[in-house]
C-alpha cells in the first residue's frame, strides 16, 4: 500500500504532466487535486492520449487502455489513485 507521501508525489507528477500537456498557461500550482481534468482544465481527446502516454513514461508503467475509464480523468486525485494501484501491481 502506498503511503500519503507517495500518493502526494504521484499527484504532483500527474499535475506536472497535465500542465505540460495542456500547454495553455495552466501551471502546476493552478491545478487542484479535485479539479476535473476535462471540464475544468480543458483536456481534450488528443491531449488525453498525450497525457496518458506521458504518464506511462513518467512512472515507467504500462496502462491498460482497454480497461481505462474516462471517469479516471475526473480528478487528479482519482487518476493518482489509479496510477498508485498500477504501481502497486507492477511490484
**Cα-based distances in Å from 33 to 36, 58, 67:** 9, 18, 23
What is the per-residue pLDDT across 54-84, written as a single tens digit (0 to 9) for each? Answer: 999 999 999 888 888 888 888 999 999 999 9
Torsion sign over Cα 40, 46, 49, 54: negative
What is the per-residue pLDDT across 11-45, written as a single tens digit (0 to 9) for each? Answer: 999 999 999 999 989 999 999 999 999 999 999 99
Separation of first and last alpha carbons in the chain: 11
**For residue 5, pLDDT beyond 70:** no
pLDDT at 88: 84
Amino acid at each position: 500500500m502506498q503511503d500519503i507521501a507517495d500518493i502526494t508525489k504521484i499527484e504532483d507528477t500527474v499535475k506536472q504532466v497535465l500542465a505540460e500537456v495542456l500547454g495553455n498557461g495552466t501551471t502546476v500550482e493552478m491545478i487542484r487535486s479535485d479539479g476535473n481534468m476535462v471540464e475544468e482544465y480543458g483536456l481534450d481527446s488528443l491531449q488525453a492520449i498525450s497525457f496518458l502516454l506521458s504518464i506511462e513514461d513518467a512512472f515507467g508503467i504500462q496502462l491498460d487502455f482497454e480497461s481505462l475509464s474516462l471517469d479516471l480523468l475526473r480528478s487528479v486525485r482519482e487518476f493518482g489513485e489509479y496510477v498508485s494501484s498500477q504501481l502497486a501491481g507492477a511490484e
